[in-house]
Amino acid sequence: MTAEALTGLVFLPLLAACAVAALPGRLGGGFVLAGLAPLPLCLIVLTGAVVDTGTVSLAIAGFASPLGIEWFVDPLALILLWLNTVIALVVGLYAARDYPPHSARGGRFWALWLLLTSAMNALLLSADLFNLFVTLELVTVAAIGLLVIDGKPAALRAGMRYLVLALLGSLFYLLGVALIYGQAGTLDLYQAGERLGPELLPVTALVLMTVGLLVKSAVFPLHSWLPAAHGNAPGPVSAVLSAMVVKVSIYLIWRLWLWLAADWQPDWALPMLGLLGAGAILYGSVLAFLQVRLKMMVAYSTVAQLGYLMLLFPLFGPLGFTAATYHLLSHGLAKAAMFLAVSNILAVMGTDRLDRLGGADRRLPLDTLTLALAGVSILGLPPSGGFVSKWLMLQAAWAIEGWGWLIVILAGGLLAAAYLFRPLAVLCARPATARPADDVRAPSPAGLRWGGIVALMLALAALVAGLAPAPVLTLLEGGLPPGARP
Amino acid sequence: MSLLLPALVVFLLLNLVAGLWRVFLGPTAADRMLSALLFGSTTVAMLLVLAQWQQSPALRIAALLFVMLAAITSIAFVALTQGRVAARRAPAPPVEPRQ
Amino acid sequence: MNLLIDVLIAIGLVVLAWQALVGGSLFRGIVMFIVFGLTMALAWARLGSPDLAMAEAAIGAGVTGALLMIAYWRLRALGASRPTPRSRLRARLALGVGVLSSVLVAMIGLAAVEAIGPGGEAGQALAAALPATGLGNPITGVLVIFRNLDTLLEVAVLLAAYVASRAALGDDKAALPLPPAQDAPLVGALVAVLAPLTVLVAIYLLKAGSQLPGGAFQAGAVLAAGGVLLMLAGRLHPAPLCGLGLRIALVAGTVVFSGVGIIMLALGQPLLAVPGTWAVYLIETAMMVSIGATLVLLFAGSAGLSGKALR
Amino acid sequence: MSHAEVWVVAAAAVFGIGLYSLLIAAHLLRQLIAIKVMGSAIFLVLVVAAGPIDGALDGLPKALVLTGIVIAISAIAFALALLVRLAEVTGSTSLEDDADDDR
């Protein structure tokens, strides 16, 4: 059954994308549903297998590595697969309002959406360095196609910049793959790790691949493309870009340093990567505070929050690993909720400039609530998922007496409070003047309420993640990286 | 014989360099494209010689492909540069972009 | 003599890259880029890879060159502004970065060549596993049998590129402009010969691919070249709507490939197992059709194609 | 096949020229050509650095390069469509004059 489940995760959305691309019109909606709806079933089967056996692997076409490509699922990959599927489905519910599948534009949107879902699932499953390159390219092309689908000049420009940088990043990644294959004679991530050592060439290869992936995941100081891209994309696309697309690259960086190089990372590498994370937290938070547009603020907040994922490296250990993974999960849900709520606000108010949003809470109570709830998780206040991850992370920093990291985590929390309270205060203000224009193009009230409920669901999921973290944490403890195992 | 074929390859390569010089000099687009086409035919000759010398007959298939592509490129060039001339005659033509 | 030839080609590559990328007009840059691609093909021939020589010539130089040319033509037709050159400081900085990266790559590469072991484990496994498949061309073996997930996803990337391009161009755009059709008598005669020939060569490359160099990608690129030819000669036109046949052609590669793979899974075989040489041909044919159709549509910048003119 | 060093040095030089051009070229079309050329250089390294097996170069990286060539053209084709649309909407062929998109 697991082979079928794995197949479904990649091939259902892929084939549905083909169907939507080939047969647009009334049939489209049905295929979208057929491509996405069964994915949780596949994941339930897969979760059962992972809980039973710890890991699941599958040799494609029956050819094991080094010749063939293998899929490999451990608890980390499984949790990301769940996150990806939930985001694709729930944000998809929201997108169905703006992009009806039977229109020409909607057909393209859903074809790309399904391709993106399939590509990210394939990326999370793959344990082959070159296959990962192919899936990364598919993710990039589909994501940028979605970004520019509304034809807004700002989005086109942001998409172009994103594409050029992402292609450059791919080149660096590929150069690293070339070196690894030359040295190890295999492309399998885990096999290559066993065959290599801390010599100059393998380390150089890892550095090259990491630089490429850092560009793609917009980690400080290579983040320059992200705010414009995430701040100008259509709402549901911003949500999936922030919640998943940038994170899969960081996930690969984790795989490279904590799995492939588990036994031989040089001493300087992990603190170095952590420093980038610290820079991202501080710089991203300050810039988020300085933004005048709500959506840009949320985008800069992503730059900051990505930094916490890089803190895994200096805080590496069982605690640090579960903390970072939990952060990935709760931030994904909260940030998707935030982008959707902002998108609703933008649709109703016609602008997302903070100085024109005064009193918007009366017209959009649901979305203001969503923004506040998601903010609680981003801030790391109890009882949210963000609290669990920040708490674990602080414990990890305490345990290794990394006071510097501790301060960065705390400062990041305070700065997040600063930049998140400002828009909430504005939204709930009672301005005497400056009523927003009423003649803006807004979706129907029903559509709006629908979108608001979807966003609220995600924000609540991020909160619930804080109330019942035990199953996820137990699962993760069964799949610690080699270096963190007792 | 053992020296003839590699010598031939070198000769053809030098030929390519000469052609390249023309591509570099121009001065018109047509000059450049014509020499690029000549470049293509010389490459075909080289592939054929290489096929004989390196004992890899498969390179002849590659040569066949080159011949066909060269013919198509010439038509593409004619089509696209006519548009280029037309664009140049248009009322407010942008100067050929550099960089 | 051997070394001399390699050195000459290598120098050619470097000079052409410089010519294509630095200084001079953009048009010259594109022509130089095409010549660079042809020289790359020569390099692959010298490295004993006729497959790559063909792919580089057909896809790397040919189709990419055509796409660059048409994009250049369109940008001119749109009257797009010419960007202001970068500052001098930035150019100096860039020179430093370029030289540094060259030195680094050279050092890394030379060290890698120095440290090469007895040969890639995967490569040896490939040589050992190939005879059982009945294929004579190891590259086709890797692409269609051993590492076919890469190939499948790569065809999906091509599909994504087409859909994403349509998404970028938006609804209001029936098709991007094309240069006026060539109706000179000589062109007509040439097209009459060349167009059928492209189909013939494509089928030959596809069939040869199982034993000799060639395969779906080269064949698809040749088909695309034929389509571009017909379009420039005014025999094939962009259309605002995509007919059902063309739509099926677009996704045929992905659907047939994954379909075979999933049926094998249902029959109790591993996922994406290829049941025999006939399946190799089936998959490659579908991929060739998809690659050809997608590349032609990307060149046309339109949703569909038709035999009749748009207006 | 010997002379791997020759190809590596050439690839390195081409890579450096590509990066240089990517940084100084303002026109996006030129930047895209630069990326394509850098890609070719990396393909060369990929095949040469894998080393020979029984006198011939390893077949596996060649297949990877073939995959890479098709992916490169897909990405470039999409980038060109995006570029043409960008020029149509904004009249610009560069990202240099990146206006702040405040509304």
Q: What are the pLDDT digits (tens) for A445-465?
A: 777 788 889 999 999 999 988
Model pLDDT for residues D2-51, shown as the tens digit of each residue: 578 899 999 999 999 999 999 888 899 999 999 999 999 999 999 988 87
Res C181: pLDDT: 74
Mean pLDDT across the stretch D62-84? Answer: 95
Contact C147, A68 (CB under 8 A): yes
* Band of pLDDT at residue A435, cut at 50, 70 and 90: low
List the beta strands (DSSP E) in chain C: 237-239, 304-306
> Closest Cα to residue A3, out of C276, C273, C148, C252?
C273
Give me the residue from A18, A144, A151 closest to C254, CB to CB: A18
pLDDT at B81 over 80: no
List the beta strands (DSSP E) in A63-215: 70-73
Q: DSSP letters of A102-139?
A: TSHHHHHHHHHHHHHHHHHHHHHHB-BHHHHHHHHHHH
Please report, rounded to a whole number, the percentage of residues in chain A having pLDDT higher than 70: 97
pLDDT at B1 over 70: no
Query: Does residue B2 sit at the D interface (CB-CB below 8 Å)?
Result: no
Res A444: pLDDT: 66
Tokens of C8: 């000459």
A27-41, A177-191, A449-463, C146-160, range with greatest mean pLDDT: C146-160
For chain C, give every domain's residue range.
1-81, 135-311
Mean pLDDT across the stretch A120-130? Answer: 95
Query: The tokens 């001119």 sit on which residue?
Result: C76
* Band of pLDDT at residue B91, cut at 50, 70 and 90: very low
Res A358: pLDDT: 79
Tokens of A191: 């096999």
pLDDT at B47 over 90: no
**Structural domains of chain D, ranges and CATH numbers in brackets:** 3-92 (1.10.287.3510)
Low-confidence residues of chain C, pLDDT below 70?
116-119, 172-175, 182-183, 308-311
Q: How far is Cα A457 from Cα A451, in angstroms, rounded to an integer? A: 10
Å between D24 CA and nearest CA of chain B: 8
Handedness of CA C171, A32, A18, A335 (dihedral sign): positive
Q: Which amino acid appears at position A248 of this protein?
A: V
Higher pLDDT, residue A439 or C131: C131
Q: How far is Cα A422 from Cα A355, in angstroms, rounded to an integer? A: 11
pLDDT at D102 over 50: no
* Band of pLDDT at residue A125, cut at 50, 70 and 90: very high
> Closest Cα to residue A265, out of A55, A484, A75, A479?
A484
Q: Which amino acid appears at position C170 of this protein?
A: G
Mean pLDDT across the stretch A222-226? Answer: 89
pLDDT at B96 over 50: no
Res C81: pLDDT: 73
Interface test with A, best of C146, C267, C271 (most A CBs within 10 A): C271
Res D8: pLDDT: 92
Model pLDDT for residues C275-295, shown as the tens digit of each residue: 888 999 999 999 999 999 999
Contact A368, A361 (CB under 8 A): yes
Q: How far is Cα A87 from Cα A109, in angstroms, rounded to an integer? A: 16
Contact A4, A49 (CB under 8 A): no
CA nearest C105 in A: which residue?
A175
CA nearest D26 in B: which residue?
B99
Res A50: pLDDT: 93
Res A370: pLDDT: 92
What per-residue string of b and e applies to D82-103 under the rule 16 or more CB within 10 Å gives b?
bbbbbbbbbebbbbeeeeebee
Higher pLDDT, residue A186 or B93: A186
Kindly determine whether residue C247 and residue A105, on different chains, have CB atoms separated by under 8 Å: no
Give me the residue from A140, A153, A160 closest to D83, CB to CB: A160
Q: Which residues contact D56 (CB under 8 A, 6 or more apart)?
A: C48, D1
Residues of D in contact with C91 (CB under 8 A): 24
**A137 class by beta-carbon count within 10 Å (0-12 exposed, 13-18 middle, 19+ buried):** buried
pLDDT at D82 over 90: yes
Query: Does residue C124 sit at the D interface (CB-CB below 8 Å)?
Result: yes
Half-sphere exposure of C201 (CA within 13 A, CB side): 27
Query: The tokens 């020499």 sit on which residue?
Result: B35
Q: How far is Cα A350 from Cα A356, in angstroms, rounded to an integer? A: 10
Of the given ranges (A136-140, A188-192, C109-113, C177-181), which has the lowest mean pLDDT? C177-181
Q: How far is Cα A391 from Cα A375, in angstroms, rounded to an integer? A: 16
Residues 22-81 of B with CB under 8 A from C: 23-24, 26, 29, 32-33, 36, 39-40, 43, 46-47, 50, 54, 56, 58-59, 61-62, 64-66, 68-69, 71-73, 75-80
Give me the residue from D5, D18, D73 closest to C110, CB to CB: D5
Chains B and A touching, counted as 3 or more CB pairs less than 8 Å apart: no
* Band of pLDDT at residue B98, cut at 50, 70 and 90: very low
| Chains touching D by CB (3 or more pairs below 8 Å) | A, B, C
Res C79: pLDDT: 80
Tokens of A320: 């640090």
Q: Mean pLDDT across chain A, nearest whole number?
A: 90
What per-residue string of b and e applies to A333-356 under the rule 16 or more CB within 10 Å gives b?
bbbbbbbbbbbbbbbbbbbbbbeb
Element (H, E) at A196: none
Kindly determine whether residue A185 and residue C269, on different chains, have CB atoms separated by under 8 Å: no
Residues of C in contact with D35 (CB under 8 A): none
